[in-house]
Structure 1
Amino acid sequence: MFASNGLRVHDWRRERLRTNLWLVPAVEAAAVVVLFAGTTKLDWTAYQGGMRFPSWVLSGSADGARQVLSTIAAAIITVAGLVFSITIVALTLASTQFGPRMLRNFIRDRGTQLTLGTFVATFLYAMLVLVAISPGPHGDFVPHLSVTVALGLTLVDLAMLIFFIHHIARAIQLPHVIAGIAGDLARAIEQEGCADATGMDGRERGLSPRELLDRMSVVASAPVCTPSSGYLQYLRHDRLIAMAHDSDAVIHLLYRPGHFLIEGSPLALVWPPEAAARVGAGLKRGQVTGPYRTLTQDISFGIDQLVEIAIRALSPAVNDTFTALTCIDWLGDCLCRIGPGWHSRRVHRDTEGYVRLIAYQASYERLVQRAFEKIRQAGVGMPAVMIRQLDALHKIMERTGDPERRQLLLEQADLIAASCRTSVPEPADREDVLRRHRAVLELAKSPEDEIIAVGYATDGLSSAVPHPRGPNHLPPQL
């Protein structure tokens, strides 16, 4: 049962390591240190007459080698400074045009990290070889093979510079940025759905989730407070389930990854109350908070990123309708992935089949609202935006067979039609929008067996079940 959770732990750690500019350069620097040790050993063997290098290995005096290496080191560090400058300009442009939350997408870019790491590694290697030139028993020791390798690394750096210029010019283009965010969101949706699809082979023991929630709302349950302030980034479900199993308790999480936690506020409810002390002591190891949100276990964040770009594009200062239309297209694609059979499981059982953890997950209703409402509000009076949103709803509904989900999509379509009637003055434009609305209504009347989708499992717990409230606590409705 915990294999999928272990995979997500790996994904979360990999994401933490990827979102920095030091890891790849550090790895490459360590690699060139090993390379330097190997080439220097061969050079020393050749210096003592133990071997001969082929003709393509450079030869020359110690002064010539020092001059070559000094030139390489100076040129490489200059170009590395240029790469850093271009990176800072790209980050500034991204912050202004795409929003400050897009900066992490550029920092985690492997192309930028690899380019910086290659230049830093070459500079380090040239400096190490330069220091290795020294007097010896048979005259000056000149590491000819190492100097040749340094020149080879310089050619690699030249290729990396050309790649970086192409890469950064492509990376700051809005369609590429939007497609990259949508790709990350699609992978997060797939991982979340696949991970939660694993279960207990049908074994269910003890009280049902609804009975447990009813009992926790009537019988006293002890709250566990948040250990530190920040955004909830990750929950170790396996550890929480193990703690609840050892304490013979049930944990009800009041927040999900992506919510902001305030130190000392209730984070979870534990039943029976006497197990709260033990569960609270281990809760610090079962959750991670930080200064920002991530896509791990928080697919709402990916939707919010696309929506932010869209509403920025629709603002009077930017007025870029086509960028907003691109965001709507990708939002529709991602919601289509959520539709057929996907569900994010709230109920987690132990190996014996008993309910041990009831998580707080974003409902399908909230995901649809996040994807459409802010863009609809920002696109008031814009028929092109309304038409594209209705087209997206039509595509999503084609892949949604659940009546409740189809009703949610219809509500969004009705809101767009109502906005059109009050904000679009031109009759022809208004008729274009309402024609798309009627197409959605006709699709909603189609028999369910004509819809390319299946219903989704709820694991015995409806998303509409209200959350029990701790002392002075209201469940967040973000």
Structure 2
Amino acid sequence: MSARVKAWLETLGDLFWLRPALVVLGCILLAQFGIWLEMAHVAGYDASSPDANWGYSGGAEGARALLSAIASSNIGVAGTTFSITIAALTLASGQMGPRLLRNFIRNGRNQTVLGIFLGTFAYALMVLRTVRTVEENPFVPHLAITGALVLALVAVGTLVWFVHHIATSINIETVVDAVQQDLCRAIAAYTRDEPGAARPDDAPTGRALAATGGGYVQAIDEDTLADWAQAHRIRVTLRVRPGDYVPSGFPIAHLSMHADGAEAAIRDAVTLGRRPAALQDPEYSIRQLVEIAVRALSPGINDPFTAGSVVDHLGDALCRIAPRHLPAGVVLRAGRPVLVHPVTDYDGLCDAMFHMIRQNAAGSVHVLGRMLDVLARVAEVERRSDRAAELARHAALVIAAARRDVADPSDLADLEDRYRRFHDRASSRA
């Protein structure tokens, strides 16, 4: 599956109406199927027979009253469900950040709940239109009405479950854990078991290709672009990576030599969109976690415990990266580099994780101490010297911030002690 198709499928997940619309369509088809079974007397089934009336057994007037009650109640509950969802989105936007709204909108359970209520409403309407009294050539689809009763009971259970789901989904620890799970999946997909090929030392030269339109780089189809470059015996050097914003007319690639169809090949391989995507960007979930921590450290919220929890989850992500290799951004064909593109390295990941939290945690002894503890634990797991040096650099930045902003001598002494323990643990692994 190409990267462009994957980006398109990810965009479909952001459409809040898509899943409810599919559920409503399915319920309409189910209603039509139940009515057809009643009219066709499939396999000799006769709903009017006393032996067959295991479901609804009333007449036309009772059927109309029952279906009307089911339809009216479910459309009312659907409105209530939508209001609760909007309230949860408002709370999440105010306390956790507007970029976290995407996680709630993409939540398939919220979409399915709304679809069940709307689908039950649509089902009841479709069946109600076929009920006829004695004056209208009587017809009562008993089987389809029984299906409406079943859907109504399902809707009751769904409402109880939905209230529980909303109450737990807006819990800050639940949100942090959900984003951290996305980060873990991104790390598993982004990292490699073996080191990649070495990047060429020569600077990119040759013809520059500019972007025809602006937007965020959502995905890059490396294999397709590498195959095209190999077929034309050239090297393509990209200047952007997933997550970067590309202004209109910005040169996003260099070709080692001229090749026909280069603009179309680059345009098809690099997917641009109106917003960043998590498809190939490992920093996407990191930025979400950092935003939660930064908002928690704001004076209006002042919740250092949430920021400390985020730091713990970021440390877990670094421990998962420790035995793995990050991609080098070089694609080989027949042993020759045909595609070179920028990638997120270990230093960039650490900067994205810790810089903003440290800058906004000035004077917060709890958060600064938690950062030193987490860095010490990661240093114990990490075996590469270059990565250990990067961890030591961030630990030095943390203690420097503490020496500058922490006024209480006892608090500063505690942070100094944690900084010494970091060096002791890091040196024991050297």
**TM over 0.5: same fold?**
yes
**Number of residue pairs the alignment of both structures matches:** 426
Does residue 1:79 correspond to 2:104, yes or no? Answer: no
CA deviation map 1:303-353 (0-9, x unaligned): 111111111111111111111111111111112112222312311123x33
CA deviation map 1:94-115 (0-9, x unaligned): 1111111011000011210110
Counterpart secondary structure, 1:315: coil
Query: What TM-score results when the alignment is normalised by the length of structure 2?
Result: 0.94
Counterpart secondary structure, 2:339: strand
Partner of 2:384: 402
Find the aligned partners of 1:263 and 1:7 in 2 and give their Cα distance. 24
Superposed displacement of residue 26, structure 1? 2.2
Partner of 2:44: 50
Find the aligned partners of 2:67 and 2:32 in 1 and give their Cα distance. 17
Superposed displacement of residue 30, structure 1? 2.6
CA deviation map 1:60-80 (0-9, x unaligned): 222221121111111110100
Find the aligned partners of 2:270 and 2:170 in 1 and give their Cα distance. 34
Partner of 1:230: 215
Equivalent pair of 1:258/1:294 in contact (CA under 8 Å): yes
Find the aligned partners of 2:137 and 2:57 in 1 and give their Cα distance. 14
Partner of 1:178: 176
Find the aligned partners of 1:209 and 1:361 in 2 and give their Cα distance. 11
Does residue 1:287 correspond to 2:270, yes or no? Answer: yes
Partner of 1:24: 19
Q: Which runs of 5+ in 2 are unaligned?
A: none
Letter in 2 for 1:246: A
Find the aligned partners of 1:356 and 1:388 in 2 and give their Cα distance. 44
- 1:173-322 equivalences under 5 Å are 173-194=171-192, 209-211=199-201, 213-214=202-203, 216=204, 220-272=205-257, 274-275=258-259, 277-322=260-305
Letter in 2 for 1:251: V
Counterpart secondary structure, 2:268: coil
Find the aligned partners of 1:7 and 1:398 in 2 and give their Cα distance. 39
Matched-pair identity in %: 36
Does residue 1:375 correspond to 2:360, yes or no? Answer: no
Does residue 1:347 correspond to 2:310, yes or no? Answer: no
Does residue 1:445 correspond to 2:427, yes or no? Answer: yes
Find the aligned partners of 1:370 and 1:102 in 2 and give their Cα distance. 17
Find the aligned partners of 1:236 and 1:264 in 2 and give their Cα distance. 21
Superposed displacement of residue 34, structure 1? 2.8
CA deviation map 1:394-432 (0-9, x unaligned): 111112111111111101111111121222122211111
Partner of 1:133: 131
User: What's the C-alpha RMSD, in Å, of the aligned pairs?
Assistant: 2.2
Query: What TM-score results when the alignment is normalised by the length of structure 1?
Result: 0.84
CA deviation map 1:104-136 (0-9, x unaligned): 000011210110111111111111111222479
Find the aligned partners of 2:278 and 2:310 in 1 and give their Cα distance. 17
Counterpart secondary structure, 1:228: coil
Go from structure 1 to structure 2 and tell me whether the alpha carbon gap of 1:110 and 1:402 turns closer, same or farther (over 3 Å shift): same
Equivalent pair of 2:3/2:220 in contact (CA under 8 Å): no
Letter in 2 for 1:23: L
Superposed displacement of residue 19, structure 1? 2.0
Go from structure 1 to structure 2 and tell me whether the alpha carbon gap of 1:188 and 1:253 turns closer, same or farther (over 3 Å shift): same
Equivalent pair of 1:185/1:295 in contact (CA under 8 Å): no
Equivalent pair of 2:199/2:328 in contact (CA under 8 Å): no
Superposed displacement of residue 264, structure 1? 0.8
Partner of 1:338: 321
Does residue 1:15 correspond to 2:10, yes or no? Answer: yes
1:429 to 398, 411, 414: 411
Equivalent pair of 1:197/1:345 in contact (CA under 8 Å): no
1:329 to 293, 298, 312: 312
Higher mean displacement: 130-139 or 92-101 = 130-139
Find the aligned partners of 1:112 and 1:136 in 2 and give their Cα distance. 43
Find the aligned partners of 1:58 and 1:418 in 2 and give their Cα distance. 75
Partner of 2:100: 102
Counterpart secondary structure, 1:348: strand
Find the aligned partners of 1:129 and 1:267 in 2 and give their Cα distance. 57
Superposed displacement of residue 237, structure 1? 1.1
Superposed displacement of residue 444, structure 1? 2.3
CA deviation map 1:332-379 (0-9, x unaligned): 1112112222312311123x3321111111121111011111111111
Partner of 2:398: 416
